[in-house]
Structure 1
Amino acid sequence: MKSSNIGGQAVMEGVMMKNGSRYAVAVRKEDGEIVVKTDSHEGFIKNKKILSLPIIRGVFNFVDSLVLGMKTLTYSAGFFMEEAEEENPKRRAVSKEEQEKRDSLIMGVTVVFSILLAVGLFMVLPYFVSNLFRRFTDSQMLLGLFEGAVRLCLFIGYILLISRMKDIQRVFQYHGAEHKCINCIEHGLDLNVENVMESSKQHKRCGTSFLLIVMLISVVLFLFIRVESPLWRVIVRILLVPVIAGISYEFIRLAGRSENRVVEILSKPGLWMQNLTTKEPDESMIEVAICSVEAVFDWKAYLTENFGKHYEEERREKP
């Protein structure tokens, strides 16, 4: 499989695809129409030297992904709030510029809150839970392993819990459509509904795999990095979050490009987790995902360059 530069994300009733700094959001409205928006997203760090540094680039890419994800999710959700806006005269009276400022503020607060909540729930809480067992053992190794087990159980339990929500199940279907489109292209197949439906819904560069790798790497690091002070144990866990995210990013990046047997084996847990976060999409969802891909990625040129395929240019009749 030849890796491409395209990546994506599921949104409400749609798919976002990103290629370099360009991204497209395709959303199917309630009347069945597919709306596609294309734009560019420049990260908050513009220095290319910094963005080329291993591990460090992973931290900035992670934050940028969160920001873009919230931005596109807000955009897609906006289509399903139009009725509420029409019924609310106060909201109609707000200018577009004022509304954009409000949305930006809400998005920023949400991203910060999400990061703090994730760090608290998956990094700090497991430590305090493991402390309850200090009365039974003094082994730092056993306590570290128990902390890691709690962390993994919380993560998997959270995924299982949200996967039962009806709206999230549809998002997971669009998530599957996103993966299927990328796999279709990277396996040298023409991007059409039939080929995409036959493609796998699992992909090694998935965000689910990234998050699971974060959990696993944290277990290893916290086992070997030890401090005596209970307060510093908490502080160290917080300070190491960017390092863990950076290492995880490097692994996911390597996994997406490598066919090494060891890397393939290490990628398996993330692919298994994707069985929870990706569902089989229907053809209408595939159509939306294809629209998103074609808005930012020339898949025919990619197949020509990497698989030797050739496509005749479409002849347009002159008026």
Structure 2
Amino acid sequence: MSQSTQNIYGGQAVIEGVMFAGRNANVTAVRRKNNEIKFYEVPRKTTPWIQKLKKIPVLRGIVAILESSAKGSQHLNFSMESYAEDELEEEKDIDAPAKEEKKGWSLSMIVGVAVAGILSFVAGKLIFTVVPALIEQLIFGHAFKNIIVHNLIEGVIKILFLLSYLYMISLTPLIKRLFQYHGAEHKVISAYEAGAELTISNVQRFTRLHYRCGSSFIVFSVLVGIVVYSFFHWDSLWERVYLRVLLLPVVLGFSYEALRFTNALRDLPVLRFLGYPGLWLQKLTTKEPTDEQVAVSIASFNRMLELDRQGVRS
């Protein structure tokens, strides 16, 4: 099957599983401690006015982000509940002191994933937008007056801040597994888009990096922000921060368009380098998955395709 005749699918890694968004339903598959693969299926609702907004450049990016955050939180919550159930089952077989230790470890892990996943585009995006501006202003605010140079330095601080954050959370065992499932999600989509049969051996041959990944979107939001902020003058720290927050939807909207543009050009040898910064960041946000993790991703994707063929709707 050629890519031109395929639908464009996306997904999201969750705790011990993967979610894929289809035309008619969003499907999550997670692997339980007993090796059973459990599914969570949510039919997609079509809202006419939202569909109209999705056709408007720039604005469609903001709509897509809000919609993705809403559905992603729902599926992440399902995976968290499944993970917690397995942890509670294990705790029944350990003594009281070990039980308390295990309970605290599980709770901290779950809270960490919830903060990283659910709040990333709400509080997280504001933090990554405001804090670098504050740092740059405090260190270089009176060093020179060129706004473009200030914005470039702010962008560098933002990237260093982002890389440090991703590296630190990737050191935790559960986040590392989450990033492995992220890699499994990418491999399945790449195999499908290449027309390969979705078997574990076939899928594992594909790269864990993908041009349409949200990690690439984060990089574009930094680069686009440098350009957008350069069109607006500010005279004080408060005004600078206020403009960053006010222009955040604009930056996100144009970043979404930049991501679509680079994905459309990824097969052109001369222009495909435009997507390289996002691919480089994915070396942090994805890890090579195991065969068992790929199997979960394939199961989720196949079930999503099955519901698409059946035309399931709410």
Matched-pair contact (CA < 8 Å) for 1:9–1:178:
yes
Q: Is the alpha carbon distance of 1:121 and 1:47 closer, same or farther for their aligned partners in structure 2, counting shifts above 3 Å?
A: closer
Kindly report the root-mean-square deviation, in angstroms, between the aligned alpha carbons of the 2 structures.
2.6
Structure-1 separation of matches of 2:145 and 2:261 = 38
Which 10-residue stretch deviates more, 212-221 or 54-63?
Answer: 212-221
For the residues of structure 1 that align with 2:199 and 2:121, how far apart are their CA atoms?
37
SS at match of 1:189: coil
CA gap of 1:240–1:79, structure 2 versus 1, over 3 A, is same
- TM value normalised by structure 2: 0.81
How far residue 83 of structure 1 moved from its aligned partner, in angstroms, is: 5.8
1:88-126, Cα deviation, whole Å (9 max, x unpaired): 9xxxxxxxxxxxxxxxxxx9xx95x54442243211111
Cross-structure match for 2:16: 13
Q: Could you tell me how far apart the structure 1 residues matched to 2:142 and 2:236 are?
A: 17
Q: CA deviation at 1:233?
A: 2.0
Give the count of matched residue pairs. Answer: 280
Q: Paired residue for 2:177?
A: 170
Query: Contact (CA 8 Å) 2:17, 2:31: kept in 1 or not?
Result: yes
Conserved 8 A contact 2:203-2:294: yes
| Secondary structure in 2 matching 1:20 | coil
Q: Structure 1 stretch 29-38 or stretch 227-236: which is displaced more? A: 227-236
Counterpart of 2:3, as a letter, is K
- Please tell me the residue identity of whatever aligns with 1:122: F
Is the counterpart of residue 63 in structure 1 residue 27 in structure 2?
no
User: Residue 25 of structure 1: which of 24, 28, 32 is its match?
Assistant: 28
Aligned residues of 1:174 and 1:289 also touching (Cα < 8 A): yes
Alignment map for 1:51-130 (pairs within 5 Å):
51-82=54-85, 111=118, 114-130=120-136
**Residue pairs, 1:165-314, within 5 angstroms:** 165-258=172-265, 259-261=267-269, 263-297=271-305
Q: Is residue 179–residue 201 contact of structure 1 (8 Å, CA) maintained in 2?
A: yes
- What's the CA shift for 1:49? 1.9
Determine helix, strand or coil for the equivalent of 1:81.
helix
**Is 1:2 aligned to 2:39, yes or no?**
no
SS at match of 2:28: strand
CA contact (8 A) 1:145 1:223 kept: no
Cα-to-partner distance string for 1:184-208 (whole Å, 9 max, x where unaligned): 1111211111100111111100011
Q: From the superposition, tell whether residues 298 and 84 of structure 1 become closer, same or farther in structure 2 (CA, over 3 Å).
A: closer
d(CA) in 1 for partners of 2:148, 2:123: 27
With 250-259 and 235-244 compared, the bigger mean Cα shift is at: 250-259
Which residue identity lines up with residue 127 of structure 1 in the other structure?
A: A
Change (3 A) 1:158 1:296: same
2:85 alignment partner AA: E
Question: What SS does the corresponding residue of 2:187 show, helix, strand or coil?
Answer: helix
Distance 1:188 1:84, change over 3 A: closer
CA distance in 2, matches of 1:263, 1:24: 34
Change (3 A) 1:140 1:213: same
1:250-287 CA-partner distances (Å, limit 9, x unpaired): 22223333333454111001011111111111111111
Deviation of residue 46 (structure 1)? 4.0
Structure 2: gaps of 5 or more residues: 93-113, 310-314
Any idea what SS the aligned residue of 1:36 has?
A: strand
Q: How far apart are 1:298 and its partner, in Å? A: 5.6
Q: How far, CA to CA, are the matches of 2:291 and 2:214 in structure 1? A: 23
Percent identity between the aligned chains?
Answer: 33
In 2, are the aligned partners of 1:9 and 1:17 still within 8 Å (CA)?
yes
* 8 A contact 1:6–1:17 mirrored in 2: yes
Match of 1:158 among 162, 165, 171: 165
Greater shift after overlay, 15-24 or 79-88?
A: 79-88
Q: Which range moves more in the overlay, 41-50 or 229-238?
A: 41-50
TM-score by length of 1: 0.80
Alpha carbons 2:263, 2:275 under 8 Å: kept = no
Unpaired runs of 5+ residues, structure 1, are: 89-106, 302-319
CA contact (8 A) 1:25 1:36 kept: yes
**Which 10-residue stretch deviates more, 203-212 or 79-88?**
79-88
Report deviation, 1:247: 1.1
Deviates most, 282-291 or 77-86? 77-86
